[in-house]
């Protein structure tokens, strides 16, 4: 089963599912908001049903939000219309084949997506190219390799049976290595608990800037 068909089938139930850790999600929104500026051009890949893009939209110039599931995007467009949000463009695209000039974006968001990619290193390298010098890549990633290494064996079987999506069973160390190897410097790394997604703010090819006030109590 293709990844788009898997997530098309999941779209309705995904949209109805409550956020697993609302407090952690709000913390990630708060930290991200500390970096947003009204003149920013933002890309979010793997945007799903659009909740995060819609929340951040009032604080930036424009967000291009992409996903390879048309069913997810249909829900996202409806949510944006209901909220009166007009500066988010939802597009069907896969980040691996997404086309935009290098240096197009001030910030790129990849929330709950890197662990669902077949080649995270290639995508992280692409994200680096798409960012302006000093731009920010903000991600939240499930690192199953830290606590559930056996998934390396289970994941391919589950995918072949159509029961699981593509899964990269990485560790946090793997993820940090990939980001550093692509040229990112990590400004902020936070995990709300063992087995929870790892939230990272990484800057493209620049020394860390002064941290916003919202970071003070959350920096690892």
| pLDDT per position as a tens digit, 30-51 | 999 999 999 999 999 999 999 9
Helix residue ranges, H only, 103-213: 120-130, 151-160, 172-182
**Residue 103 pLDDT level (bands cut at 50, 70, 90):** very high
| pLDDT per position as a tens digit, 70-82 | 888 999 999 999 9
Give the mean pLDDT of the chain.
83
Helix or strand or coil: residue 89?
strand
Return the pLDDT at 78: 96
Decide if pLDDT at 13 tops 60: no
The secondary structure of 102-131, three-state, reads CCCEEEEEEECCHHHCCCHHHHHHHHHHHE
- Dist CA 35 CA 117 (whole Å): 26
Name, in order, each residue with C-beta under 8 angstroms of 93's C-beta and a sequence gap of 6 or more: 45, 66, 67, 68
Q: What is the pTM of this model?
A: 0.81
Return the pLDDT at 207: 41
Return the pLDDT at 19: 74
Helix or strand or coil: residue 180?
helix
For residues 144 and 167, the answer to whether their CB atoms sit within 8 Å is yes
Which whole number is the average pLDDT over 9-17?
56
Which whole number is the average pLDDT over 187-201?
94
Instruction: For each of the domains in the chain, give its residue range(s) and CATH number, in order of start.
Output: 3-215 (3.40.50.150)
Percent of the chain with pLDDT over 90: 63
Return the pLDDT at 62: 98
- In angstroms, the Cα distances linking 20 to 26, 64, 150 are 12, 25, 23
- Dist CA 139 CA 136 (whole Å): 10
Which whole number is the average pLDDT over 22-37?
96
CA angle 37, 105, 34 (to 5 degrees): 30
């Amino acid at each position: 089963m293709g990844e788009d068909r898997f997530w098309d089938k999941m779209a309705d139930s995904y949209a109805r599912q409550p956020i697993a850790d609302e407090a952690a999600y709000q913390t990630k929104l708060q930290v991200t908001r500390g970096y947003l500026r009204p003149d920013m051009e933002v890309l979010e890949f793997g945007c799903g049903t659009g909740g995060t893009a819609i929340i951040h939209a009032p604080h930036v110039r424009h967000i291009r939000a992409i996903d390879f599931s048309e069913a997810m995007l249909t829900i996202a467009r409806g949510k944006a219309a209901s909220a009166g949000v007009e500066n988010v463009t939802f597009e069907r695209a896969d980040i691996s084949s997404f086309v935009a000039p290098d240096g197009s974006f001030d910030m790129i968001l990849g929330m709950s997506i890197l662990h669902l990619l077949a080649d995270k290193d290639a995508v992280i390298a692409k994200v680096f190219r798409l960012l302006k010098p000093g731009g920010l890549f903000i991600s939240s990633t499930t690192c199953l390799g830290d606590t559930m290494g056996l998934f390396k064996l289970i994941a391919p079987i589950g995918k072949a049976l159509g029961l699981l999506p593509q899964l990269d069973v990485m560790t946090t160390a793997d993820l940090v290595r990939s980001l550093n190897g692509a040229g990112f410097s990590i400004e902020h790394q936070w995990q709300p608990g063992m087995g929870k997604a790892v939230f990272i703010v990484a800057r493209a090819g620049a020394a860390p800037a002064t941290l916003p006030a919202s970071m003070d109590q959350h920096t690892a």
